[in-house]
């Protein structure tokens, strides 16, 4: 049966498209739905928010993975917080130099649904370097003894199950378990709609006091609210532009849908209104 799905960007603004629902369930943490659509292919929706679409999921997953790994080319041990759909994992597994990839996902239903309905996204759960832990991300970073070179905070939004991943305590713990040249990349919400912009500001204010290097970068993700999405590059040592390893990354010869080295540089050039939001001008 064909119906219309709407994601509310604000109480007055909706993004609406025709869907055929092929899966729906309630996990312990959230409502999970899978739709077939004409324009976006399959779409994963959690608590009424689009998590990914087959048409453009590569934009988000490439930007959260290749940006830090084109800078920190010696990274060996990676931690994904959230990311249960497997998309960031897929991009990570393309780097043969990585030794371990740990994922801490709170909701076991997410990897299960992704593997069943999104095989192109979730096709790397059997990689020998990969270790999935179904656990609370905040508790994990609070207690683990392991050190990491790269942490990806691939979370849902700052309400519901992802909420604790936007706290000062969480970021402080991440800082502690990163090696001295470690990098953290977090999905950083959108600067456009008022309540989203407030989150951008709030996340930045928390992280800038913890990480010596904290720079935002952006991507065009048409199926996320406003299409203007931000990521944070938080680092103890490496600068995302000064330390970009052009030759090393090029030598990997990775085929990408969205990312390239010019775009890497360009993505850190933010509009004035976003710079103002984070008090940079």
Which residues are designated catalytic? 154
Instruction: Tell me the closest approach of the beta carbon of residue 188 to a second copy, in angstroms.
Output: 14
Distance, CA of 125 to CA of 188 (rounded, Å): 25
Instruction: Tell me the closest approach of the beta carbon of residue 45 to a second copy, in angstroms.
Output: 15
Can you tell me which of 30, 93, 155, 218 binds a second copy, judged by CB under 8 A? 218
Q: Which is nearer to a second copy, 70 or 80 (CB)?
A: 70
Task: Say whether residue 48 binds a second copy (CB under 8 A).
Answer: no
Site string for a second copy, 105-144 (x = CB under 8 A): ----------------------------------------
Task: Say whether residue 260 binds a second copy (CB under 8 A).
Answer: yes
**Stretch of 35-43, 64-72, 124-132, 244-252 lying at the interface with a second copy (CB under 8 A):** 35-43
Q: Which is nearer to a second copy, 180 or 255 (CB)?
A: 255
Distance, CA of 85 to CA of 53 (rounded, Å): 11
Can you tell me which of 28, 96, 194, 242 binds a second copy, judged by CB under 8 A? 194
Q: Which is nearer to a second copy, 25 or 281 (CB)?
A: 281
**Stretch of 23-31, 152-160, 174-182, 191-199 lying at the interface with a second copy (CB under 8 A):** 191-199
Burial of 174 (0-12, 13-18, 19+ CB in 10 A): buried
Burial of 46 (0-12, 13-18, 19+ CB in 10 A): buried
Instruction: Tell me the closest approach of the beta carbon of residue 95 to a second copy, in angstroms.
Output: 18
Task: Say whether residue 279 binds a second copy (CB under 8 A).
Answer: no
Can you tell me which of 24, 131, 266, 279 binds a second copy, judged by CB under 8 A? 266
- Tell how strand 228-235 and strand 213-220 pair up: antiparallel
Can you tell me which of 13, 25, 99, 251 binds a second copy, judged by CB under 8 A? 13
Residues near a second copy (CB under 8 A) are 6, 9-18, 37-39, 56, 59, 192-194, 218, 220, 222, 226-228, 256-260, 262-273, 275
């Amino acid at each position: 049966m064909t119906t219309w799905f709407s994601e509310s960007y604000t109480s007055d603004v909706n993004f609406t498209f025709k869907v055929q629902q092929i899966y729906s369930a309630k996990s312990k943490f959230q409502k999970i739905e899978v739709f077939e659509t004409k324009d976006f292919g399959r779409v994963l929706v959690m608590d009424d928010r689009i998590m990914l679409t087959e048409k453009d999921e590569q934009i988000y997953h490439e930007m959260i993975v290749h940006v830090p790994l084109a800078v920190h080319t010696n990274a060996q041990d990676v931690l994904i917080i959230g990311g249960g759909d497997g998309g960031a994992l897929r991009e990570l597994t393309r780097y043969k130099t990585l030794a371990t990839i740990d994922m801490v996902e709170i909701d076991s239903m997410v990897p299960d649904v992704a593997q069943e309905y999104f095989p192109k996204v979730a096709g790397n759960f059997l990689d020998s370097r990969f270790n999935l832990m179904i656990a609370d991300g905040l508790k994990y970073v609070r207690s683990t003894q392991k050190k990491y070179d790269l942490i990806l905070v691939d979370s849902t939004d700052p309400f519901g199950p992802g909420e604790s991943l936007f706290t000062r305590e969480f970021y402080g713990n991440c800082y502690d378990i990163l090696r001295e040249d470690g990098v953290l990349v977090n999905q950083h919400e959108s600067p456009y709609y008022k309540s989203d912009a407030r989150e951008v500001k709030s996340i930045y204010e928390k992280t800038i006091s913890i990480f010596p290097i904290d720079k935002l970068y952006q991507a065009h993700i048409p199926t996320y609210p406003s299409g203007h999405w931000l990521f944070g590059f938080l680092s103890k040592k490496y600068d995302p532009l000064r330390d970009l390893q052009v030759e090393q990354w090029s030598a990997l010869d990775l085929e990408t849908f969205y990312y390239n080295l010019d775009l890497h540089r360009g993505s850190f050039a933010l509009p004035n209104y976003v710079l103002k939001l984070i008090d940079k001008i």
